[in-house]
Structure 1
Amino acid sequence: MDIKQKADSLARKYRTRNPFEILQGLNAILVFAPLIDTRAFYQYFQRNNIIYIDENLPRHEQAFECAHEMGHMFLHKKANTIFMDTRTELNTCRYEREADLFAMSLLVSDDMIAEYQQCSIDQISRALGYEKRLIKLRLKQP
């Protein structure tokens, strides 16, 4: 199953694209806390999926970060990207791109893309509130 299919499958199963509602249905743990030097992170600890999100972010950004960390939860469960980033020379860009793709596939449905098909990337970015690079990434998906 590819990344977009996984996101669409979750949206169908839980009848929502709201990552907070899906996370609740998955019995994962969501922690809002004041984070320093990071916006959010995922941790798999003692068979628990835990997502930490900076409580100071606007709700729209918290939703994106939640969906992004869910991407790590489904795609990179055993990868400790914080450790890899800070303690090794390994490049974690692929993991981050995949998590971004999962988040955008979950948050931006095919119907939303169709609704904005006559718009530029700048216009879609402003309308939906996501960075242009994220809109471009989502538009590359069939």
Structure 2
Amino acid sequence: MEIKAKVRKLVRKYKTRNPFEMINGMNAILVLCPLKGVRGFYQYFQRNNIIYIDEALSDTDKAFVLAHEIGHMLLHKKSNAIFMDTRTQFKTTRYELEADKFAMELLISDEFLEENSYYTVEQISRMTGYPQKLIELRLNN
């Protein structure tokens, strides 16, 4: 299923775009903890979906990281990106890009973009708190 369609279905089901509200209804465990050099990661362990997020991040960054990791949970459930990054030559760039697209599709609605279509990417970036690179990714979806 296409990312946009998956997000639309989730938003309809949970009646929110807030990943913190959404995660409560999902079969997932959210762990806020101190992480060194990593903003967050997703782990599928013994049939449990576990998402770890660095507790030191800003609220905006926590929301993005959670949405990104939900993307991994729904798009790449059994892919162990940490293992692939550290133990194999497999490139995980595609998985990360898909999770970024998923996160931005979830966090920024089409309606928001339509209402603010006269603003530049830089201005939308400042309004939302997300980097320009991610805003451009969302606009190109």
Please state which band the TM-score falls in when normalised by the shorter chain. over 0.9
Q: Distance in 2 between matches of 1:108 and 1:100?
A: 12
CA distance in 1 between partners of 2:48 and 2:21 (Å)? 17
TM-score in terms of structure 1 length: 0.97
- Are positions 1:137 and 2:141 aligned together? no
Residues 61-76 of structure 1: pairs in structure 2 closer than 5 A: 61-76=61-76
Paired letter, 1:11 = V
CA distance in 1, matches of 2:128, 2:113: 10
Q: In the alignment, does 2:124 pair up with 1:93?
A: no
Equivalent residues in 2 for 1:37-116 (5 A)? 37-116=37-116
What is the identity, as a one-letter code, of the residue corresponding to 2:66? Answer: C
User: Letter of the aligned partner of 1:107 in structure 2?
Assistant: L
Deviations 1:77-118 (A, max 9, x none): 111000111111111110000000000000000111111111
Q: Partner letter of residue 27 of structure 1?
A: N
- Secondary structure at the aligned position of 2:42 is classed as strand
Identity %, equivalent residues = 60
The alpha carbon displacement at 1:27 in A equals: 3.0
Report the secondary structure of 2:44's partner residue.
strand
Supply the AA of the counterpart residue of 1:88. T
Q: Which runs of 4+ in 1 moved over 4 A?
A: none
Unaligned runs of 5+ in 2: none
If the length of structure 2 is used for normalisation, what is the TM-score? Answer: 0.97
Structure 1 segments unaligned to the other structure (5+ residues): none
Counterparts in 2 of 1:6-17, with a 5 A limit?
6-17=6-17
SS at match of 1:16: coil
CA RMSD of aligned residues (A): 0.7
Distance 1:85 1:4 in 2: 27
Residue 85 of structure 1 aligns to which amino acid in structure 2?
D
